Amino acid sequence: MPPVPLLVRLKTSRLRQLIPTRLMVGRAERRGHAIWKQSGAARENALAVIETIIGDGRPRAELAELAQQYLVEVEVERALFWQRWVRPRKDAASTTNFEQALASRRGVLVSVCHQGPMGPGHAAITSPRHTLYSTSAPWFFAQPSHDHWGRRLARWRRELYARNQRALCAAGAFGVLQLLLEAGELVLIQFDMPGSCETRFLGKPVMLTTGTARLAVQADALVLPMRTRRVAHRLWVDIEAPLDPRDFAGGRALHEALAAVHERWILDSPATLEDPRREGAWEAGATAAAWLGPEQGAQP
C-alpha cells in the first residue's frame, strides 16, 4: 500500500474492517439518499445515467426512483470495497451450474457485466484449486499513486492475488486467453465493453465486443453468465446454466444469447450498473438512444 496523508490512510485502513459490514452499508445507504436530496448536480447526473441505461421513455417518477437508488448503490459499493471481502453466497442452482461446468474438463469462460460490487463478487468463483484469469485495462498495472486512488488500486491487486486470481492486460490478450481455455482453465471476461458488433441490447443498438463468443467458439469453452447482487449487506452471485458453443450456429448466435441473459439481469436492477459513459467505456457515445463507443474502448 503506498504511503498517503493521514486522513486518506484512515479512510483506507484495514481497521475499517473491524466495523460490522451491516453498519457500514447502512451508513452508505443514508449517505446516498442524502446526496440525492442535497445535490442537484448529483441528481441530474444520476438521472442521465439511468436514462442512458434504460432509455428516456419511462415515467419521470420511475426514472427518479432508479436514479436515487443508483446514488445509493455507488456509495454502498465504495463502502463494501474497504470491508473484508467475504465470499458471496450462491443458491443451489448457481452452485450446481458452476460445479458442473468445472467438472466438464473443458475451459470455462465466466461472463460478467459491470453490475453490482464486482471486486468482492468475483471471489465467489475463486479457490486455491482454480486460478481465475481475467483482463484489465493498462491503468490497472500502473504504479499506485500516493492518494486514495492509489490505495484502492493496491488493495484491489492484493485481493486478487490473495484469492488466486491473475489479471492480464486486455490489449492483445485474445491469443493467451484462448490457450488458457484450450488447456481447461477458468477465465473471466467483461461482456459490456465497446466493440465493433452492433447488438440489440437494452432496447437500443449497442456496439459491443464479441470477444467472449469468439473465444468460446475458438477454444470450445463453456460460457457461464454471472452477476453479483446484494441483499442488504450481504452479496450473492447468480450463475446461469452454461452456454455451450456447440449448441449454436456460430459466434453471432452465441453472442446474442449471452446478450439476452445480461440484458435481463440489468433491466431487473438497472441502478446497479456502472455508468456506461465512464472513461474507457462508451464515454460520450452512450446516450438513451444508442451506445456508439470509441474504437479505443474495445477489448478482445
pLDDT (tens digit per residue) in 193-242: 999 999 999 999 999 999 999 999 999 999 999 999 999 999 999 999 99
pLDDT (tens digit per residue) in 63-80: 999 999 999 999 999 999
pLDDT at 126: 79
pLDDT at 145: 94
The CA distances from residue 179 to 123, 168, 175, 215, in Å, are 23, 13, 6, 10
Kindly report which listed range (124-128, 146-150, 176-180, 274-278) carries the lowest average pLDDT score. Answer: 124-128
Residue written as grid cell 473471466: 188
Contact (CB, 8 A) for 109 and 212? yes
Q: What is the grid cell recorded at 55? A: 432509455
pLDDT at 297 over 60: no
DSSP codes of every residue in 93-123: HHHHHHHHHHHTTS-EEEEE-SBS-HHHHGG
pLDDT at 123: 79
pLDDT at 294: 65
The band of 300, judged by pLDDT with boundaries at 50, 70 and 90, is very low
Q: Classify 165 in phi/psi space as left (phi over 0), alpha (psi -120 to 50) or beta.
A: beta
Note the pTM of the prediction, 2 decimals.
0.92
